[in-house]
Structure 1
Amino acid sequence: MKTLKRGLLFLITVVFAINFVNAQDAPTMFSVHTDNVKFEMVPQYEQLAKSLKDNLVKHAITGTSWTAISVEDGRYVYVSPIKNMADLDKNSMAGLFEKMGEAEASKLFDDMNQCYDSHSNAVVHYNTNLSYRPDGYSTDGKNHREYHFLYYAPKNGKAMREAMSKVKELFEAKGIKNGYDVYHSGFGSEESYFMVSISGKDDVEIAMGGQENDKIFGDEKGEIFFNVIKLTTRYDQVEADVRPDLSYTPSSN
């Protein structure tokens, strides 16, 4: 496991989990809530998170939905698509407190709060233009995620986008079959970064896909990828898993 600074990389989630049939139809803004769960409290936290979902289903709560992701360092991330910043002002749990009862719902969240010493909220953006989704590509059934964080100085923002566009062009020119999604830091992030999300059934499948790509790229990969790397101030990689058992979507959606 890589040593990561909590709070700087909590945005991964993203994002990382939504399945898009057509990139043009993909939501582009997400709110991200992260619980930094203590390792010894993970079993208890998971039981409570499942209880939360069960109660949402039981009471048919609408007005909220999320994809849950568990990260290798103990973080649990809940990613929800939003239309604009005004959506952040909405109380997405009001319906649950009404149906479940104030006392019972409050106890559930209080118990969850005992499992971590900090949590956070932020916004991230999906970048359709930089993401690569070839015809027939889908993340269905691929719940393992490998996230690559490319941090850069704000002055290099334009150059970074241009360099990453060249990477996408290489993938297109070579007809690479496995795609990737790109997200950009937003409100609540301490640094500017692009995050590249790669999906697979497990880490082995992702690694094998990378090896196959390298054979197809040949020598052309070196300079194009280096143009991205030389603009980064630092780089981090982290692995996580999408958790359908903890994710929630109202049945009416």
Structure 2
Amino acid sequence: MKTRKLTFLSTFIFVLFMGGLNAQNGSSQAYWVHEDVVKPSMIGQYESICKELTDNMKKYNIQEFNVIVSNTADNRYLWVSPISGMADIEKPLFKTLSEKMGAEKMDDLFNRMDKCYDIEHNYIIHLDKELSYMPSGITQTPEGQDYRKFHYYHYTPSNRAEVKKKVEAIKTLFENKGSKLEYRVYRSGFGTRGAFYMVAIAAKDAADYSGKISANNESMGEEWQKTYTDFFSSLKKYEAFEGGMRPDMGYAPK
């Protein structure tokens, strides 16, 4: 997580100004994602170091940092932090932690962490509340449902408007049918690899997820199959990843 050190801020300030990022409004919330692609042989060590970092932030009640963490079956760890405005971006994330635990100790922690991966990514995604379907209330962390299935629907810039209309049609159908399957929709932003919608579905575990999908397909009937097939035919590429939330690695200040 080298880019989460004190120097990450200058990297993004200019880009966000130039991109005209509207970090948060009534229908959208922006998140900065730091993704570590961890070496399989280093997973245990990586998680241990990350928990050491979390423990230190809890110990000193660091106020500048707020993050949820998930990891996928292909060994990617995603650190997701909300951006509420430019004032948040200007805050040095680990300045206080460095002062509290000592710069030398903190640098040693991050240096050990950096050895656990060769690839890291940084990008922005936007939670689209208008396209998401969560009648019980939008939350990234439904209680008791740490399992995740991440669906990536890639499209080309030329058919952006068409794909959006079909995503809207899916939500309308879910509302009309009173579906019990809830999902959140994220839009790709600055730094992502191509344009996509990412749909995140929460469940207790893989079996619970499978049961939810089966029940939804049955209750929604042929109209759902037709609507989804029409949407799918407009895509450039589709990917799906299993994963889970890691509350033991995330952090929120008291």
Letter of the 1:244 counterpart: P
Which residue, out of 193, 197, 201, partners 2:200? Answer: 197
Aligned match of 2:64 = 63
In the TM superposition, residue 71 of structure 1 has moved relative to its aligned partner by: 1.1
Aligned match of 1:187 = 190
> Number of residues paired by the alignment?
228
How far apart are the structure 1 equivalents of 2:161 and 2:116?
A: 41
How far apart are the structure 2 equivalents of 1:86 and 1:122?
A: 18
C-alpha distance 221-180 of structure 1, shift in aligned 2 (>3 A) = same
Aligned match of 1:41 = 42
Letter of the 2:55 counterpart: D
Do the aligned residues in 1 keep the contact of 2:98 with 2:106 (CA within 8 Å)?
yes
Do the aligned residues in 1 keep the contact of 2:126 with 2:186 (CA within 8 Å)?
yes
C-alpha distance 115-29 of structure 1, shift in aligned 2 (>3 A) = same
Letter of the 2:125 counterpart: V
Q: Any gaps of 5 or more consecutive residues in structure 1?
A: 1-23
Indicate the SS of the match to 2:252: coil
Q: TM-score, normalised by structure 2?
A: 0.86
How far apart are the structure 1 equivalents of 2:90 and 2:253?
A: 20
How far apart are the structure 1 equivalents of 2:72 and 2:162?
A: 30
Aligned match of 1:238 = 241
Do the aligned residues in 2 keep the contact of 1:72 with 1:238 (CA within 8 Å)?
yes
How far apart are the structure 1 equivalents of 2:66 and 2:143?
A: 18
Alignment of 1:1-253 (within 5 A): 28-84=29-85, 87-135=88-136, 139-251=142-254
Do the aligned residues in 1 keep the contact of 2:43 with 2:116 (CA within 8 Å)?
yes
Indicate the SS of the match to 2:200: strand
Structure 1 segments (4+ residues) deviating >4 Å: 24-27
How far apart are the structure 1 equivalents of 2:89 and 2:73?
A: 27
Letter of the 1:126 counterpart: L
How far apart are the structure 2 equivalents of 1:145 and 1:152?
A: 22
In the TM superposition, residue 25 of structure 1 has moved relative to its aligned partner by: 7.0
How far apart are the structure 2 equivalents of 1:103 and 1:84?
A: 31
Instruction: Give aligned-pair identity as a percent.
Output: 35
Do the aligned residues in 2 keep the contact of 1:134 with 1:178 (CA within 8 Å)?
no
Indicate the SS of the match to 1:131: strand
In the TM superposition, residue 150 of structure 1 has moved relative to its aligned partner by: 0.4
C-alpha distance 26-78 of structure 1, shift in aligned 2 (>3 A) = farther
Indicate the SS of the match to 1:49: helix
Q: Deviations over 1:47-86 (max 9, x none)?
A: 1001000000111111111001111111111100002466
Letter of the 1:42 counterpart: I
C-alpha distance 57-237 of structure 1, shift in aligned 2 (>3 A) = same
How far apart are the structure 1 equivalents of 2:41 and 2:127?
A: 33
In the TM superposition, residue 89 of structure 1 has moved relative to its aligned partner by: 4.2
Root-mean-square deviation (CA), in Å?
1.7
Q: Any gaps of 5 or more consecutive residues in structure 2?
A: 1-24
Indicate the SS of the match to 1:149: strand
